[in-house]
Structure 1
């Protein structure tokens, strides 16, 4: 089993309808291949985690690499994992803004406590770093 985490830039800023189209397609494709993960979008930047059996993750990632809606794809992580972090999600998704970021950070921090004794979870750390350095100001 493996995961891939990548960053990319949208060719143009996407509206909610376009993001829903991406999400619908991702959920369908991922469910067919038993791949799970999370997709975050903020001001033209995507970060995505894909996790599952090696050949299935690689097949989905190959399609993503040729998707004309984004550019400048950078693979951050491409390696083996022992267990899925997002096993219940064919594709978790959110647009990151100040109203949602606190809840998402809370979720990711709670996942840290689940995994802290077994390994340093690179995917969770990467997602948290993206959120925390994405020039978002969390206001109470």
Structure 2
């Protein structure tokens, strides 16, 4: 099993409806391949953690790389893990300006679940850095 963290740039700033479509397709793909993780979006930048069987994570990454909604994908972490950091999330999701999508399953009403993780290796550290640098730390 492994986790993979990448960062990418949206081709254009995404509206709520576009984020919902992206989230739904990611969730469906992840459930089909038993991959878990979290996706954060802020001002045109994505960071995503994928975790699961290596071949499944690699397959999903190849689909993501071919997705025309973003560009400049950079893999930050690709490492083996012994347990998942986000086992309950087929795709946990957070964006600070989600007026119409806070009701969706998996939408994180707070970044506290990520920020409160004491361990989790490089993947969690990257997420915490993204949260801090984009001032996403908030809860409802």
- 1:74 is paired with a residue whose SS is strand
Describe the shift of the 1:32–1:132 C-alpha distance in structure 2 as closer, same or farther (beyond 3 A): same
Whether contact under 8 Å (1:96, 1:131) holds in the other structure is: no
Aligned 1:65-76 pairs, distance under 5 A: 65-76=65-76
Rg larger for? 1
Q: Could you say what the CA RMSD is over the residues aligned between the two structures, in angstroms?
A: 2.2
Task: State the distance in 2 between where 1:30 and 1:137 align.
Answer: 24
Pair 137,68 (structure 1): closer, same or farther in 2 beyond 3 Å: closer
- Secondary structure of 2:17's aligned partner: helix
**Unmatched tracts of structure 2, length 5 or more:** 103-107
- The residue that corresponds to 1:45 in the other structure is 45
| Offset from partner CA, 1:38-73 (integer Å, 9 cap, x none) | 000001000000000000000000000111100011
Tell me whether 1:13 sits opposite 2:20 in the alignment: no
2:133 is the counterpart of 1:126 = no
Partner of 1:107: 113
Per-residue CA shift, 1:67-123, capped at 9, x if unaligned?
1100011110011011000111100001135xx99930x2223221xx3xxxx6111
State the SS of the aligned residue for 1:103. Answer: coil
Higher helix share: 1
Cα distance 1:40–1:57, how it changes in 2: closer, same or farther (>3 A)?
A: same
CA distance in 1, matches of 2:136, 2:31: 34
Q: 5+ residue gaps in structure 1? A: none
Could you state the TM-score of these two structures normalised by the residue count of structure 1?
0.85
Count how many residue pairs are aligned between Structure 1 and Structure 2. Answer: 130
Structure-2 change in CA distance of 1:40 and 1:139 (3 Å): closer
Taking the aligned partners of 1:18 and 1:128, their CA distance within structure 2 comes to: 25
Runs of 4+ in 1 over 2 A off after TM superposition: 100-103, 136-140
